[in-house]
Structure formats: C-alpha cells, structure tokens
Structure 1
Amino acid sequence: MLDPLTIVVVEPDPERARLIVDALTDATDYRVHVIAERAALARQIVQRKPDLVLIDVADPSRDVIEELTLASGPLDRPVALFVDRSDEGLSTAAIEAGLSAYVVDGLTPARVKPVLDAAIARFRLMQRMRAELAETKRALEERKVIDRAKGLLMRARGIPEDEAYALLRRTAMDQGRRVADVAEALVTAAGLLG
C-alpha cells in the first residue's frame, strides 16, 4: 500500500484552512499540515517534507507570488496557488515562477482534489521535460567534445574523420571508458600542450 501524500497548506485564516483540510481529507487519505505564518516559510516547508504545497492567497501581487513560489520549492514538488482574484499577467508570472497550478476564485471543496491532481500531473510532465532537456544538452556537449577531439586527431595524424572516430572508439573500448570521456581527456590534454 502506498503512503498517503503529505500536503502542506499555507493559509493564515483558520476557517479557510479548516475548509481546505476538510476538503482534502474527504477526498482522499492525505497527511495535511497547515502553516499559518509565512515567516520562515521555506524552512517550515522543508521540515515537513511535503509531496505537494497548496497556497491560498486572497489578494496576490507579483512580489507575493514570487516570495511564496521561492519558499515552496516548485522544482522539488508540485505547488498549487489558489487566489481570490488575479490582475493581468499574474497567472503568467505564477507559471513562469514554476507553479504547477494557478487557480482564480476556485477554492471550493469540490475543486480542491481535481486541481491538486492536475498540479501533480503537470509537475511530473515538467520534471520529465527538464530531465529530457538536461539529457539533450549533455549529449550535445558530448558531441561537441567528440567533434573537437576528432579534429585534433585528424590534424595531428593526418587521418580522415571516420578513422579519427574509430581511434577514439577503440581507445575507449580498450580503457573501458566512454568515447565522450576519452574525447574530453584528449581535448583537455591538447589544451594543456597547446
């Protein structure tokens, strides 16, 4: 059996916090912690190690959204922000800040769980996209290093590109290393010698 999700609810109003907690516990078996005070919010959130953060803000501003977003760690967990009203551009600022959900005038018990489910799904999608982007960047950097190493071998030995790559590959196999690692060592050594 899976452990229930741990949710931190950031809500200074005790009555609204109770409504949120009730909606969450009615929907599913969550462990819910309410944080009423925004002072040292990041530390309070880290101490509770939540799977998700739900923040309720009556009257948001760009600064409040930024502060709450940074404190809630949107790259570490899904963060859903419920606001009573929204000025133009705040939803864009919220999404750019990394929030998984930005809901205007939507804090009703029936909507809490579906919004949190959507926030979790969006967060997981963004995590996969960030991982794929990082992997693509790493592969591109490795490709650049391999190309530089092939160029060095081609000039130093007067061999064509396919032979230079074959030499890198054979050296990597002989040493039990990756081609990119051998290429990196060659480029580094050439930089020291040249």
Structure 2
Amino acid sequence: MNEHKQALRIVVIAPELAVADPRDRHALRLAERSRMLRIGLLENNLNLVAVLPADTFLSERLAQLQPDLVIVDAESEARDALEHVVMATRDAPRPIVLFTNDDDTTHVRDAVAAGVCAYVVAGLAPQRIRPILDVALARFAHEQALRSELADAKSELKDRKTIDRAKGLLMQRQGLSEPAAYEKLRKTAMEKGLKLGEVARRMLEMVDLLG
C-alpha cells in the first residue's frame, strides 16, 4: 500500500453524531450519514485525525492539525459549511471534498469555484471513498501547479518591465547603450547575490526617493 495514502491526514467537517430529539428524522439521517462516512474512512485505512464543526474556530483548528485533505459532510446546510471551510483554508489551501445526499445541485458551480475538488452526491459506499479522494488530491495538485505557473509568469513579466525601466534610466542618465545598461544591472546583481529584477526594483525605488 502506498505510503502517501497511509500518511494522508484527513479532517471531516460534520454535524454532531448525538441527536437531541430521537424523533427528528432529518437529524438522525444526517448522524447516520456522518457515522457511515467515518466508518468508510477507517475501512480504507485512512488517517482520520479529527471531526470538527463548521464554526468560526475552524481556521485555527485546521492550522493546528495541518490536514492533507478536508472532507465536508453536509446536506441542506452545505452552503454554510462550505463558506466556513473556504474561509478557513483561504491562506493555506487544501483539497476539499464534499459528500452529500442533497440532490439540489444549484450551488455546485459555487462550490467548485470556491475550491471544492470533488462534489459527491450519494457516494458513501466504502469502496468509492478512496478513488474519490485520490482524484481530489490529483486535481488539487494539478490546479496548484497551474496557479504557481501563472504566478511565476506574472512575476516574470513584472520583472521584465522593471528591468526595462531600469535600463532606460541608466541609458538616459549615464549615456549607456542598452547592452551596456543591461550588463551593469547584471553585474550588480551578481555582486550582491540578488535577482536581476530585484536590483532593478531597488534602483528605481532609490531614484524615486532621491527625486
């Protein structure tokens, strides 16, 4: 069995199993769903580290537990639970999987836009759980890689514009050719152990400061 799967730390966001009113069929059904989900995780040898309520303390609890994946077990209150989870994982993104029996799919688009990697209706059969989580993890990793590539591309474009401005300033003030201005920036970057874009940015900031 894969070591990564064995080490996977999972937190479930779910309502309490205890039902105050034994006549409340809806609450009993939710509690049974939540119980079956937890049993399914254990049967798949997955590491369930905590079951938490979707409340204002969720962000701090997730920061302490550092789970690899968050499962939201919800039905009619799925939207509210998701809002708490999305807010709690905003600064430290994690794959999110939503299990529900609610066939109202009007908020699927919002859920996916919010970062849900898998939206599963009536999918609590134990044999389905691991493949669903594997797909969610793979999708999350793919999306994070795309975001990183986009961020790098934006940073590279910004650096290029900054370097061009710095070159233009050197050419104007010191009468250098474009290759000579670029070489001066490059040499300074090497001497100071900095990236070329950082040297250009500092130079422009200094010029702005001195006027």
Q: Same fold (TM over 0.5)?
A: yes
Within the candidate set 141, 145, 170, 1:153 is matched to 170
Task: Map residues 102-121 of structure 1 onto 2, 5 A cutoff.
Answer: 102-121=119-138
User: Once the two structures are superposed, what CA deviation does each residue of 1:94-143 show, in whole Å capped at 9, x if it has no partner?
Assistant: 11111221122323222211111111111111221222222222222211
Within the candidate set 198, 201, 205, 1:181 is matched to 198
Task: Map residues 31-180 of structure 1 onto 2, 5 A cutoff.
Answer: 31-35=48-52, 37-39=53-55, 40-60=57-77, 62-71=79-88, 75-180=92-197
Displacement over 6 Å in runs of 4+: none
How far off its partner does 1:151 sit?
0.7
**Counterpart Cα distance in 2 of 1:29 and 1:88:** 28
What percent of counterpart residues are identical?
40
Tell me the equivalent position of 2:9: 6
Instruction: Answer yes or no: is the 8 Å Cα contact 2:10–2:68 preserved in 1.
Output: yes
How far off its partner does 1:62 sit?
4.0
Instruction: Answer yes or no: is the 8 Å Cα contact 2:163–2:200 preserved in 1.
Output: yes
Amino acid at match of 1:107: L
- CA-atom RMSD, angstroms? 2.4
**Counterpart Cα distance in 2 of 1:61 and 1:176:** 51
Q: 1:101 to 1:87 in 2, by over 3 A?
A: same
User: Once the two structures are superposed, what CA deviation does each residue of 1:26-83 show, in whole Å capped at 9, x if it has no partner?
Assistant: 2234234223x33333334334332211111122464443233323558432110112
Instruction: Answer yes or no: is the 8 Å Cα contact 2:10–2:46 preserved in 1.
Output: no
Normalising by structure 2, what TM-score?
Answer: 0.78
**Counterpart Cα distance in 2 of 1:53 and 1:103:** 14
User: Once the two structures are superposed, what CA deviation does each residue of 1:141-191 show, in whole Å capped at 9, x if it has no partner?
Assistant: 211111110010111123332221122112323444332222122211221
Higher mean C-alpha deviation, range 17-26 or range 69-78: 69-78
Amino acid at match of 2:8: L
Instruction: Answer yes or no: is the 8 Å Cα contact 1:58–1:84 preserved in 2.
Output: yes
Q: 1:54 to 1:137 in 2, by over 3 A?
A: same
Gaps of 5+ in 2: 16-29
* Equivalences, count: 193
SS of match in other structure, 1:100: strand
**Counterpart Cα distance in 1 of 2:61 and 2:194:** 44
